[in-house]
């Protein structure tokens, strides 16, 4: 499965968003396999962060001048926020860039496998909670609903995911939906 995901991610044309008025950022979609079930790691942001207070997202953040690539941003931020060590992440590939509607970011998402169990270490200023969600729960039709958002005055297709009283929406939900499409294709190919 891991190699099929890698193949699917790397043999597709990535949609890149270029907009000098937006801030570059990157996230990591951390995956792990526990007893044959794949899980995705999300974080719930604290109320003390500058933007996206209390939102559920993937670990990640703003591109800094010391980062040579957006992948480096995603890996650095994942270490800073939840203690994921670079050597523990097997980067499988990247997804299409996404823009945020409530802030001014271009998000470059990367998918990486991590070992399980993992000893996360949260940055208490940035991360309120680590949420580990089985992919099969996200694929359940009762979890996933279509939605719309407004971006630059235009209505865009979006999604909302509900899991154990938590709501995943916005750019995170759009990135997640794109990944789940690829994951579903990988399952069908096996």
By the 8 A CB rule, do 130 and 41 touch? yes
Q: Which residues pair with 160 in a beta bridge?
A: 145
Structural domains of the chain in order of their starting residue, each with its CATH number = 2-134 (3.90.79.10)
pLDDT, position 99: 92
pTM of the predicted model as reported, rounded to 2 decimal places? 0.94
Q: How far apart are CA 120 and CA 97, in angstroms?
A: 26
For residue 50, is pLDDT > 90?
no
pLDDT in tens, 94-140: 999 999 988 889 999 999 999 999 999 999 999 999 999 999 999 99
Tokens representing 20?
A: 């000098």
pLDDT in tens, 10-43: 999 999 999 999 999 999 999 999 999 999 999 9
């Amino acid at each position: 499965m891991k190699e099929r995901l890698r193949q699917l991610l790397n043999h597709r044309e990535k949609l890149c968003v270029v907009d000098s008025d937006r801030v570059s950022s990157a996230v990591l979609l951390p995956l792990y396999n526990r007893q044959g079930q794949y899980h995705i790691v999300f974080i719930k942001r604290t109320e003390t962060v500058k933007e996206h207070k209390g939102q559920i997202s993937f670990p990640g953040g703003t591109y800094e001048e010391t980062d040579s690539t957006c992948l480096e941003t995603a890996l650095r931020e994942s270490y800073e926020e939840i203690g994921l060590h670079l050597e523990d992440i097997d980067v499988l590939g990247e997804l299409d860039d996404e823009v945020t509607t409530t802030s001014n970011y271009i998000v470059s998402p990367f998918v990486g496998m991590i070992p399980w169990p993992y000893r996360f270490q949260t940055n208490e200023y940035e991360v309120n909670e680590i949420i580990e969600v089985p992919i099969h729960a996200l694929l359940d039709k009762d979890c996933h609903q279509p939605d719309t958002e407004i971006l630059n005055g235009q209505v865009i297709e979006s999604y909302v995911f509900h899991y154990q009283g938590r709501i995943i929406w916005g750019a995170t939900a759009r990135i997640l939906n794109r990944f789940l499409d690829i994951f579903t294709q990988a399952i069908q190919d096996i």
